[in-house]
Amino acid sequence: MSELKDMKIMLFPSRYIQGDGAISFLPEVMARYGGKPFVVATKSMLSRAESLMSGKGTVVRFGGECSRNEIDRLKGLAKNAGATAIAGIGGGKPIDACKVVADEMGLPVIIAATIPATDAPCSGCAVIYTDDGVYVEVLYQKKNPDVVLIDTDIILKAPVRFLISGMGDALATYFEAASCEKSHSLSECFGLRTKTALSLSKLCLDILLQHGRDAAKDAANGVLSEAVEAIIEANTLLSGIGFESGGLGSAHSVHNGLTVLEATHHLYHGEKVAFGTLAGLELYDELGIKDKIYKFCVDVGLPVCFADLNIPNVTDAELKQVAESAYKHNFMSHEPAELSTEKVLEAMKTADRKGRELKAAKGK
Ligand SMILES: [Zn+2]
């Protein structure tokens, strides 16, 4: 008899709304779920949230960390307010906290993301930390967000590095899903892949390669172009759906491995994932397009070598630690290739060498 994990499983947010000024629809969207909206906003979005809601419901400030204490604090406030729906406005941490609050209270959740660097808005899982920011666990919700509101004007006003980092995370999506498919590995919703998930992951890659360079330039100039809109969709919707229903592989394993080196800590998630994608393509490159991916990374300003990762003088001993840690993460076993710690180490060194050569050739 089959088990649930032998089935093809796919998760989606119920409704996705993207556009210039999308956040202005928050009160209208929340009113559909009842008369007592409860809005959690980061410090920088607090006054905007208050004026938007104009006295309807409750608006509170996010405490700063997606920890059990903060989740319980928000749950207490939401309960006292008689909340009929929860909204989270901000980056990955407030979004994740609100997903857990709503899930545990059995309420709808509306997500308004303000940066395009994370897969958090569309997914049905949340990363929990201690109050001091140390990773604790991933919590899985019963369903994905009810509404995801992506205001492209707000996102454009965030530093362009977020958009580029989001492209780094999105870049891994197709390669990891394709590897998982080939090796019959489980996705992040603990099932096999639908054709839909694979196809949307491929669309994510196609949009990046087609619009990524223009989007990076336009966003740096504050222009909300079609390219920027397309990349926001790829980074948020397609990458979010793609990783969850497609699965993870070597790119995120190398990312996790890199976190053992303190010097890489100030880099964003997607920046490390981008380098992990390059190293991963040295291990397995089914489409034979790795050269194209190196060029893309150099052009948009994603890390392609150790110097870009702030570890220009990294030693073999340190790289061995990274490779061992990367290898220990079970996503590495999702690659359909015979791998070892040595191979992962060599792949990182090859990526670094090729990245440096390409940058030199492009005069960067
Ligand atoms: Zn990621």
Q: How far apart are CA 307 and CA 260, in angstroms?
A: 16
Spacing, Cα 247 to ligand 1 middle (Å)? 10
Spacing, Cα 317 to ligand 1 middle (Å)? 26
Q: How far apart are CA 155 and CA 174, in angstroms?
A: 24
pLDDT digits (tens, 9 = 90+) for 283-317: 999 899 999 999 999 999 999 999 999 999 999 99
Output DSSP code: residue 194. Answer: P
pLDDT at 13 over 80: yes
pLDDT digits (tens, 9 = 90+) for 60-118: 999 999 999 999 999 999 999 999 999 999 999 999 999 999 999 999 999 999 998 88
Spacing, Cα 207 to ligand 1 middle (Å)? 17
Spacing, Cα 121 to ligand 1 middle (Å)? 12
Q: What is the CATH number of domain 159-361?
A: 1.20.1090.10
Q: 37 near 87, Cβ under 8 Å?
A: yes
CA distances (Å), origin 41, targets 38, 142, 321: 10, 23, 39
Spacing, Cα 50 to ligand 1 middle (Å)? 31
State the pLDDT at residue 364.
84
Helix or strand or coil: residue 67? strand
Spacing, Cα 2 to ligand 1 middle (Å)? 30
pLDDT at 329 over 90: no
Q: 189 near 9, Cβ under 8 Å?
A: yes
Output DSSP code: residue 192. Answer: B
Spacing, Cα 119 to ligand 1 middle (Å)? 7
Could you tell me where the DSSP H helices lie in the chain?
Answer: 26-31, 46-53, 68-80, 92-105, 152-157, 160-183, 195-220, 226-233, 239-246, 250-258, 269-283, 290-300, 316-328, 341-361
Q: 49 near 27, Cβ under 8 Å?
A: no
pLDDT at 330 over 80: no
pLDDT at 204 over 90: yes
pLDDT digits (tens, 9 = 90+) for 21-72: 999 999 999 999 999 999 999 999 999 999 999 999 999 999 999 999 999 9
Q: How far apart are CA 187 and CA 331, in angstroms?
A: 10
CB atoms within 10 A of CB 183: 15
Output DSSP code: residue 5. Answer: G
pTM of the complete model beyond 0.85? yes
State the pLDDT at residue 278.
98
pLDDT at 351 over 80: yes
Spacing, Cα 155 to ligand 1 middle (Å)? 18
State the pLDDT at residue 354.
98
For residue 45, count CB atoms less than 10 angstroms from its CB and return exposed for 0-12, middle for 13-18, buried for 19 or more: buried
Sorted by where each begins, the domain ranges of the chain are: 4-156, 159-361
Third-level CATH fold of 4-156: Rossmann fold (3.40.50)
- Catalytic positions: 169, 252, 255, 269
Spacing, Cα 244 to ligand 1 middle (Å)? 10
Q: Provide the β-strand partners of residue 59.
A: 39
Output DSSP code: residue 59. Answer: E
State the pLDDT at residue 106.
98
pLDDT digits (tens, 9 = 90+) for 126-156: 999 999 888 889 999 999 999 999 999 999 9
For tokens 């989007």, what's the residue?
215
Spacing, Cα 267 to ligand 1 middle (Å)? 13
State the pLDDT at residue 119.
86
State the pLDDT at residue 116.
84
User: What secondary structure does DSSP assign to 220-236, as a single string?
Assistant: HTT---HHHHHHHHIII
Spacing, Cα 93 to ligand 1 middle (Å)? 14
Q: Provide the β-strand partners of residue 85.
A: 37
Q: How far apart are CA 313 and CA 187, in angstroms?
A: 36
